[in-house]
């Protein structure tokens, strides 16, 4: 699935929706049949993240989370060929169980993006809204070229399965 541009309607992938409401943003939403405290914990506790983060559902080789403003997270995927791929970032804001804000490297050298996760609960279900704010349209487009949308959809499906849906 590709993300839409600001002039296209949102598209849905399973129960997730992806949009590009501006030249610098990607917004992904997904509903989970679980209370937000449980969904928030699944995003912030290493023992949970390690089990569902990898798009291919391979447990992470490394999952480190220092959950505080200025704290670093680092996840390392290890493929069957032994190659390792790291993903890391720095937490900016943590408001349990409502909001996580963090920075991650962008797709282009020197680029950085800000991820904001909002957890809204209604009747025991949680709507997760993930906004990826890039420094420029070129940075956003580079993330989309890397298929961050497809990988994120798969990862959110993994989370839903992990939560027992």
In this structure, of 5-14, 83-92, 108-117, 127-136, the range with the lowest mean pLDDT score is 5-14
Q: Residue 6 above 50 pLDDT?
A: no
34-93 pLDDT, tens digit per residue, is: 999 999 999 999 999 999 998 788 889 999 999 999 999 999 998 888 888 888 999 999
- Asked, for residue 102, whether it belongs to a domain, the answer is yes
Q: What is the largest CA-CA distance in the chain?
A: 44
Span 5-28, average pLDDT: 71
- Asked, for residue 71, whether it belongs to a domain, the answer is yes
Q: Residue 12 above 50 pLDDT?
A: no
- Asked, for residue 68, whether it belongs to a domain, the answer is yes
- Asked, for residue 62, whether it belongs to a domain, the answer is yes
77-122 pLDDT, tens digit per residue, is: 988 888 888 889 999 999 999 999 999 987 778 889 999 999 999 9
- Asked, for residue 5, whether it belongs to a domain, the answer is no
Backbone dihedral region of 46: left (phi > 0), alpha (psi from -120 to 50 degrees) or beta? Answer: alpha
- Asked, for residue 1, whether it belongs to a domain, the answer is no
- Asked, for residue 2, whether it belongs to a domain, the answer is no
pTM score, whole prediction: 0.87
Give the whole-angstrom CA distance, residue 26 versus residue 60.
25
Q: Which domain holds residue 135?
A: 11-162
User: What is the per-residue pLDDT for 2?
Assistant: 34
Count CB neighbours of 165 within 10 A: 12
- Asked, for residue 6, whether it belongs to a domain, the answer is no
Count of CA atoms in the C-beta half-sphere (13 A) of 8: 13
- The total of structural domains in the chain comes to 1
User: What is the per-residue pLDDT for 165?
Assistant: 60
99-105 and 112-122: which strand pairing?
Answer: antiparallel
CATH code at position 46:
3.30.530.20
Span 4-8, average pLDDT: 38
Measure CA 35 to chain center: 18
């Amino acid at each position: 699935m590709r993300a839409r541009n600001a002039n296209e309607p949102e598209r849905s992938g399973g129960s997730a929706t992806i949009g590009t409401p501006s030249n610098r943003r990607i917004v992904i939403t997904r509903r989970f049949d679980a209370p937000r405290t449980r969904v928030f914990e699944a995003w912030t506790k290493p023992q949970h993240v390690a089990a569902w983060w990898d798009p291919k559902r391979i447990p992470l080789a490394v999952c480190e989370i220092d959950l505080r403003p200025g704290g670093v997270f680092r996840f390392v995927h290890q493929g069957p060929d032994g190659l390792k791929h790291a993903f890391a970032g720095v937490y900016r804001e943590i408001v349990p169980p409502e909001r996580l804000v963090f920075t991650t490297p962008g797709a282009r050298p020197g680029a950085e993006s800000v991820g904001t996760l909002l957890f809204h609960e209604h009747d025991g279900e949680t709507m997760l809204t993930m906004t990826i704010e890039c420094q420029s349209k070129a940075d956003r487009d580079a993330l989309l070229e890397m298929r961050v949308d497809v990988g994120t959809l798969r990862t959110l499906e993994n989370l839903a399965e992990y939560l027992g849906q």
